[in-house]
Amino acid sequence: MTEDKFEKAVEKRLDKIESNISHNLENINTQKKEVAIEKKIDTHVESKIDKLEAKFSKLQDDKLDSKWVHDLNKNVKEILTDEQKKALLEDAKISLWIDSYDELFSDFDPRSYSKREISADFLSEVKRFARDQIDGVDLVILVPPKVRDKNMEGIIKKRLKQSFLKQYTLLVEKKKKILLQGVAFILFGIFFMIFTTFILFTYDVKDFFIYFFGVIGEPAGWFLFWEGLNLIIFDSKERNSDLKFNKKMSKINIIFNDYN
């Protein structure tokens, strides 16, 4: 074989190989495009399926709501109502236990239970428990069965309610006095300010006594005015918690029970 023929054969062979490679590359690119298209189709189909499943689920929920949820909610509400009633019954009680009736009263008061002063420790504990309670609660006092006395308990109940009612009445009177005092301070303050302004406006301010009166009268008027507002707005409100407590306790149902 001559050299020219050999070169032509090699070139022909290389052209064929190049043609095959180009063809294979085109096939690969085509396959890649088809795979990418299939992925897009799969993604789109999956998205549609998810949406259809969500709609189907919602339809099922709507169907469930329309058929069974009404009765189910009704039963749940009845159960919750019973539970809430139990909780309210528990919350509507202030329970304290004592070893003897003397613990309800002051150790320094030797009088009988019908006149004896209430113990400060007992009041403190009741206040602590009654702070967040609604009106109409029960005060349950637990006593050892061996020391219980029905007649004595009746006297103690009456004495406790009398004490709370007395404190409530006194606090109401104190609050009224504070409000009246506040109003009086405000009126006197306004009078001092008007009178001082009139004196300074009418007479010569260069006069020593007039000037001295102005120095004293003006701040006195402001002091009385603002002190009156302080009594009405703040001091009177400080009595509200004690008022609410004693009013609540004066109407409370007191119950004595056994404890072992």
- pLDDT digits 0-9 by tens, 128-163: 877 766 566 788 899 999 999 999 999 999 999 999
Residue 90 has pLDDT above 60, yes or no: no
User: Is the whole-model pTM more than 0.85?
Assistant: no
Report residue 259's pLDDT band, with 50, 70 and 90 as the boundaries.
confident
Cβ neighbours of residue 144 closer than 8 Å, sequence gap 6 or more: 99, 258, 259, 260
Alpha carbon distance 45, 71 (integer Å): 39
Regarding predicted confidence, which is higher, 190 or 237?
Answer: 190
Specify the residue for token string 């897009």.
Answer: 40
Token pair belonging to 120? 């400060």
Q: Is the pLDDT of residue 21 over 70?
A: no
pLDDT given at position 80: 39
> Rounded CA gap, 126 and 129, in Å?
5
Length of the chain in terms of residues written? 260
Better pLDDT: 257 or 58: 257
Q: Over 90: is that where the pLDDT of 169 sits? A: yes
pLDDT in the model for residue 232 = 92
Give CA–CA dist 83/87, Å, rounded.
6
> How many helices and strands (H and E) does the chain possess?
7, 3
> Do residues 189 and 228 lie in contact, with contact meaning Cβ atoms separated by under 8 Å?
yes
Residue ranges covered by each domain of the chain: 1-91, 94-258
